[in-house]
Amino acid sequence: MSKITLYHNPRCSKSRQALALLQENGIEPTQVLYLQTPPDAATLTTLIKQLGLSRAHDLLRSKEPEYAEAGLSPQSSDSEVIAAMVRFPKLIERPLAIRGKRAVIGRPPENVLQLL
């Protein structure tokens, strides 16, 4: 079985809860501190597909100040949204858990258990 990768922000309570749930189930995921090491556009495009999202905007934290700074709106194109997430990784919804070709958004944190 493939390893789980967790796009993680240690300052986020939901992200910490998702990590704890995985660890309680004997899984030590590879942690990607995405604010320090942001994913590139190709990685984000793949993640959006793995998550089964119909558009990139569905992966955004639209209440962050960077959303307005990037000039985004619900009508923004996928390429505009992905470029903004690369520039402002804080806009990426968290946590994200990936195993093989499957991925889930850890909101609620229990969603990560779908990958076990």
56-63: which pairs have CB atoms within 8 A and are 24 or more residues apart?
56/81, 56/82, 56/85, 57/81, 59/85, 59/92, 59/93, 59/105, 60/84, 60/85, 60/91, 60/92, 60/93, 61/90, 61/91, 61/92, 61/93, 61/94
Domain count, the chain: 1
64 lies in which domain range? 4-115
Angle, alpha carbons 6-9-14 (nearest 5°): 85
Domain with residue 110: its CATH number is: 3.40.30.10
45-81 tens-digit pLDDT: 999 999 999 999 999 999 999 999 999 999 999 999 9
Q: Known catalytic residues? A: 12
Q: What's the pTM? A: 0.93
